[in-house]
Amino acid sequence: MGYSGLRVIKEGFFGQKGWKPVWRDPAPKAAYDAIIIGGGGHGLSTAFYLAKEHGMTNIAVLEKGYIGGGNVGRNTTIVRANYFLPGNSEFYSHSLKLWEGMEQELNYNVMHSQRGLINLFHSDGQRDAFARRGNAMINQGDDAILLDRDGVRDILPYLDFDNVRFPIYGGLYHPRGGTARHDAVAWGYARGADQRGVDIIQNCEVTGIDIEDGVVKGVQTTRGVINAKKVGIVVAGRSGQVAAMAGMRLPIESHVLQAFVTEGLKPVIDHVVSFGIGHFYISQSDKGGLVFGGDIDFYSSYAARGNLPMKEHVMDAAMTLMPMIGKAKVLRSWGGIMDMTPDGSPIIDKTPTEGLFIDCGWCYGGFKAVPGSGFSFAHLMATGNHHEPAAKYRLDRFRTGVGLMDEEGTGSQHNLH
């Protein structure tokens, strides 16, 4: 069923009776050509692109809870392509292009809003590092503008330019950066995949991976054994547990990242603002809530809830940077489980088990990668070859030291990002 303004008006006249389920709830079949473990943003987009780009429609997405219940439904909704290291640069560039056509591709309004993102800097040294980044973005064909202090003041007049602890020297402006309605991305991909025949199976937890002679045969689930020629693991914070079912230890630690939302307010922040030195970033949702976040809580955790010191730190950063938001009130805070890799960049690769693939390690930046990750992972699963923009996301880069992608420069060891 196509969505359109006309259809919305028609249904308005007829009491909304014509709307059909956005995705079906089929029972699992005994076997599929491919199984995606994990019904989050990345898993659903993988299924969508497997069906759309590679014609693989006899596939299933297995989700232990409800779809979109993981990090795609609990993030700060930022979409950007402002990476600078080879490997990341081309991947996020590709992903942003997919975002730009997503609504038409999915016939679903995910409210992708390219309102512009500004990364602030606070010293000459930081400016130069951001210049390197901005130049890399333009080399890649993306957009970046280096703003000086007055340039920032023109578009973000509400920042504290006079008394802030770390004075604002300027910002790297990424006009195509922005936000999207996070839940809608999961629902849109689910709908698109479902329409192409993909079975989306909720409340189906994978409890084991069947492997014979080094070849994957299928999975065991709370709803029975399901056979498959190919299995993709796309489970973010739970990657360690699922990989262990295939006898793998991953270079991943799971950490909590908190996010916050205030009550609805009239428009006051029109861009995405990122205050790196204070580990703080903020935007305003279309509903009016200020959506913001900070750094991870800094201890491995699966609790999906954050601690007070980090909450306070985030509010502290908000108050020094933009003291006009002091009277906004936090309604809710939540925590997602981040699959942190040593160098802060992800993994899209084959595993030592034939037919078993893994897509993980998105750290705290997985939302914007949803389309790109699904596209590239689908390519890998369908063809057995790495998709060029994601070709550097190898599992063995830590062992060899070749192609490490440490964007922050804090080290390619755990707990430094």
Partner 1 sequence: MRLQAPENMVTFTFDGRRIKGVPGEPVSAALLANGIKLVARSFKYHRPRGVMSAGAEEQNALVTVGQGAQAEPNVRATTLEVSEGLEVSSQNAWPSLRYDMMAVNDLISPFLAAGFYYKTFMWPRSFWEKLYEPVIRRAAGLGALSGQTNPDTYEKAFAFCDVLVIGAGPAGLMAALTAGRAGADVIIADDDTAMGGRLLRECEDIEGKPAREWVLDALAELDAMPNVRRMTRTTVTGAYDQGTYGALERVAGRFAPDKPLECFWRIVAQRAILCAGALERPIAFPNNDRPGIMMASAVRAYVNRWGVTPGKAVTVFGNNDDAHRTARDLAAAGIKVAAVIDSRDDAKVAGDYPIYTGAQVIATKGRHGLQSITIRHNGGTRMVQTDCLAMSGGWNPTVHLTCHMNGRPTWREDIASFVPTPQSIPGMVTAGACNGSFTTAACLAEGAAVAAEVAAGLGLKPKVTVPDADGTAYALAPLWAVPGKGRKWIDFQNDVHVKDIKLAAQENFRSVEHMKRYTTQGMAPDQGKSSNVVALAVLADATGRGIPETGTTTFRPPYVPVSIAAMGAGSQGKGFAPERFTTSHKASVARDAPMIEAGLWYRPSYFPQMGETHWQQSCDREVGYVRNAVGVCDVSTLGKIDIQGPDAAALLDFVYTNMFSTLKVGRVRYGLMLREDGHVMDDGTTARLGDTHFVMTTTTAAAGLVMRHLEFVLQVLRSDLDAKVISVTEQWAQFAVAGPQALALLNTVLDQDLDDEIWPFMACGEVGVSGVPGRLFRISFSGEHAYEVAVPSRYGESLFRMLTAQAEVMGGGPYGMEALNVLRIEKGFVTHAELHGRTTAFDIGMARMVSAKKDCIGKAAAARPGLSDWGRQQLVGLRSTNALTAGAHLFEKNAAETRGNSLGYTTSVCYSPTLQMHLALGFLENGRARHGEVIKLRDHLRDVTEEVAVCDPVFFDPTGGRARG
Partner 2 sequence: MRITCPNCGTRDRREFYYLGDALALDRPAEDAGLGAWDDYLHSRDNPAGETRDLWCHEAGCGAWLIVERNTVTHAVHKATLAEKVKR
Q: Please report, as ranges, the residues that interact with partner 2 according to CB under 8 A.
A: 238-241, 244, 249-254, 298-303, 307, 309, 342, 398-400, 413-415
> Token digits for 264?
């609805």
Interface with partner 1 (CB under 8 A), residue from 33, 53, 160, 354: 160
- E strand or H helix at 119, and its extent? strand 117-121
Give the residue with the Cβ less far from partner 2, 266 or 399.
399
Give the residue with the Cβ less far from partner 1, 104 or 213.
104
Interface with partner 1 (CB under 8 A), residue from 29, 135, 222, 384: 135
CB of 301 to partner 2, least distance (A): 5
The residue type of 316 is D
- Residue 298 interacts with partner 1 (CB under 8 A)? no
What does the alpha-carbon distance between residue 298 and residue 362 come to, in Å, rounded to a whole number?
16
| Strands 59-62, 280-284: pairing kind | unpaired
Give the residue with the Cβ less far from partner 2, 251 or 371.
251
- CA dihedral over 65, 67, 71, 75, signed as positive or negative: negative
- E strand or H helix at 219, and its extent? strand 215-221
Interface with partner 1 (CB under 8 A), residue from 51, 61, 117, 136: 136
Interface with partner 1 (CB under 8 A), residue from 36, 96, 184, 234: 184
Provide the 10 A C-beta neighbour count for residue 70: 28
User: Interface mask (CB under 8 A) for partner 1, residues 37-66, using x and -?
Assistant: ----------------------------xx
> By the 8 A CB rule, do 85 and 407 touch?
yes
- Residue 21 interacts with partner 1 (CB under 8 A)? yes
- Residue 140 interacts with partner 1 (CB under 8 A)? yes
Interface with partner 1 (CB under 8 A), residue from 163, 212, 213, 249: 163
- Residue 299 interacts with partner 1 (CB under 8 A)? no
174-184 burial string, b = 16+ CB within 10 Å, else e?
Answer: bebbbbbbbbb
- Residue 155 interacts with partner 1 (CB under 8 A)? no
Interface with partner 1 (CB under 8 A), residue from 222, 244, 312, 352: 312
Largest CA distance in the chain: 67
Task: Provide the 3-class DSSP secondary structure of residue 362.
Answer: coil
Give the residue with the Cβ less far from partner 2, 159 or 248.
248
Give the residue with the Cβ less far from partner 1, 115 or 350.
115
Give the residue with the Cβ less far from partner 2, 16 or 241.
241
DSSP for residue 113: B
CA 254 to chain CA centroid, Å, is 15
